[in-house]
A and B are shown apart, each in its own frame.
Chain A
Amino acid sequence: MSRALRLALLLIVVGCIYLFLAHPYWFPSGVSASSASIDYQFRIAFWIFGALFVVGHLILIFVLSKKPQTGSKISHGSWRLEVTWTLAVTIIFFWFNISGERLWSKIMPSEKKAGDIEVEVTGAQFQWYFRYPGADGVFGRTDVQKFAKPDEGNPLGIDPGDPSGRDDILSTSMVVPAGHTVQLRLRAHDVIHSLFIPAMRFKQDTVPGMEIHSHFTPTQIGNYEIACAELCGMGHYRMRAVVRVLSEEEFQRWIKAQETATASH
């Protein structure tokens, strides 16, 4: 029985190691400014805790195979050992913790720079809307309850009476230029949703009744999927959108096209 148990544990350890080395599924390649450092932190994490997992189980297997001690040597515990391993894990955990805090303080704070792209993201059951301030760089005021008419292309309820809203550009996919920081205004007008862009290593809930500011910096041209990561109802699983990262000039062209389109309305 003892041998069987040890064998089973060994099998499990080997199996888990294999699973993570083979990893049939893994991170999508990171395409935002901060993804490199985040992936690095992940690598550290998996190596440290993977090692602890293996060591832990090997020790478990070892103690299961140990010969019984005899009466007098039976141990009730030893403060020396307690202190040693407590210090050991404390050092490991907090070293890891501090490196994580460093990373967080690097990627989290947002200061607006010239050339940043402003996008307002609105989550609604079960659709994402992306709004650009347009030529005047000002978002028009909205009142969903009064003006929202999804069928007439005004799902966000932009106030027709507000001039700064006339040139706002509305899109169902997020179009951004590579290399510019995207400053997001996240909102929702029914339930909580969560804007999840795996390729950007980005996630942020959109909470009704408040406006959350966040940011990321796409670095590579391409299309990347957005998924909704907060349970928002039966359509949660299909609340999908796409980030289209364009080159500088393509983006300008797109903006122009949109502006003329909205103007013609």
Chain B
Amino acid sequence: MPIISDRVEVERKPKLGGGGPGKIPHRRGYGGGDDGDHGNSGDFHSREQRMRRYRIGMTLCIVSVTAVFVLLTMVYVFRMGKGRFDEDTRRWVRDWIPLTLPYLQLWINSLVLLLSSLTLELARRSMARKEEFAAMGIVPPRFGRDLPWLGITVFLGFCFLAGQVLVWNILRAQGAFLASNPSRSLFYILTGTHAVHLVGGLVVLLYAVAGRLLAVRFESQRIAVEVTGWYWHYLAFLWFGIFALVHFARG
């Protein structure tokens, strides 16, 4: 193959319209939507392909999620600054009632989320270590020192969600309901949307945890963890973004 492609390289002179100069053919990608499962799943190369593929997919999800949160942030800032049109004075008045945030709870949640990010990274590493065994078709051994990091991560994830619910309850107790003021609405929207996305991540992690029972191939588990890892860290980052927004742009 490479020889042929080399000849392609030297023989076809760059041409506009014909598809441009033939570069050295890409070897990445066997051109299968499913390489890794078609016979050669043991082969390290195609496992890499699958991993890369899912990384791309995750990157794309993150891009599109980012678009949504950028938009919501813009709505937040715009709504806070603009206010409403007052019929009597006939000018725009700010109707934004600053929100008194339950900081303690919020900081705890942030901490929990940060921790979960950490444990997930540890989970990823321990799985990476087991990779080779799996490749050889040996059921990976449990190394003495590593804890069930994945389980812990999932647990922390649920703790974070619970914490968020707590935050919402505290606010509701204050009489800060979704509809009572734009500041409330947008706080619930931002945190709520974030929570929903986190649930998505949790589902995949659960799939990875329950993998053994569902007889999911180790390698698929590993991919799930690896890729969800990116998403998870991103969500943590996003959370601090939101936190910063509702803190500094309190109004």
Q: A residues near B, CB below 8 A? A: 75-79, 141-143, 209-211
Contact = CB atoms under 8 A, between A and B. Distances in A.
A210 B90 CA distance: 9
B18 A76 contact: yes
Nearest to A143: B87
18 contacts: A75-B17, A76-B15, A76-B16, A76-B17, A76-B18, A77-B16, A77-B17, A78-B16, A79-B16, A141-B87, A141-B88, A142-B87, A143-B87, A209-B84, A209-B85, A210-B85, A211-B85, A211-B90
Contacts of B85: 209-211
Contacts of B16: 76-79
Interface string B79-116: 00000110110100000000000000000000000000
Contacts of B15: 76
Interface string B2-36: 00000000000001111000000000000000000
A248 to B, nearest CB: 29
A121 to B, nearest CB: 15
- B16, B84, B87, B90 — most chain A CB neighbours (10 Å): B87
A156 B84 CA distance: 20
What 5 pairs across the A-B complex have the smallest Cβ distances?
A76-B17, A77-B17, A77-B16, A76-B16, A210-B85
A75 B15 CA distance: 10
A243 B85 CA distance: 28
A142 B88 CA distance: 8
A44 B16 CA distance: 37
A143 B86 CA distance: 11
Contacts of B84: 209
A142 B89 CA distance: 11
A247 B62 CA distance: 65
A211 B15 CA distance: 59
A191 to B, nearest CB: 16
B17 to A, nearest CB: 3
A3 B42 CA distance: 61
A8 B17 CA distance: 30
Interface in B97-137: none
Contacts of A209: 84-85
A5 B4 CA distance: 45
Nearest to A82: B16
Given A143-B87, A210-B85, 11 more contacts: A75-B17, A76-B16, A76-B17, A76-B18, A77-B16, A77-B17, A141-B88, A142-B87, A209-B84, A209-B85, A211-B90
Contacts of A143: 87
Interface string B135-158: 000000000000000000000000
Nearest to B85: A210
A78 B15 CA distance: 10
Nearest to B84: A209
A253 to B, nearest CB: 31
A77 B90 CA distance: 61
A124 to B, nearest CB: 15
B75 to A, nearest CB: 16
A143 B88 CA distance: 9
A225 B204 CA distance: 62
A210 B85 CA distance: 6
A211 B86 CA distance: 10
A75 to B, nearest CB: 8
A75 B18 CA distance: 9
A76 B19 CA distance: 9
A45 to B, nearest CB: 34
Nearest to B91: A211
Nearest to B17: A76
B102 to A, nearest CB: 32
B119 to A, nearest CB: 49
Nearest to A79: B16
Nearest to B16: A77
Contacts of B17: 75-77
Contacts of A75: 17
A76 B18 CA distance: 6
A209 B16 CA distance: 56
A119 B88 CA distance: 17
A217 to B, nearest CB: 24
Interface string B198-240: 0000000000000000000000000000000000000000000
A78 B17 CA distance: 9
Nearest to B19: A76
Interface in B54-91: 84-85, 87-88, 90
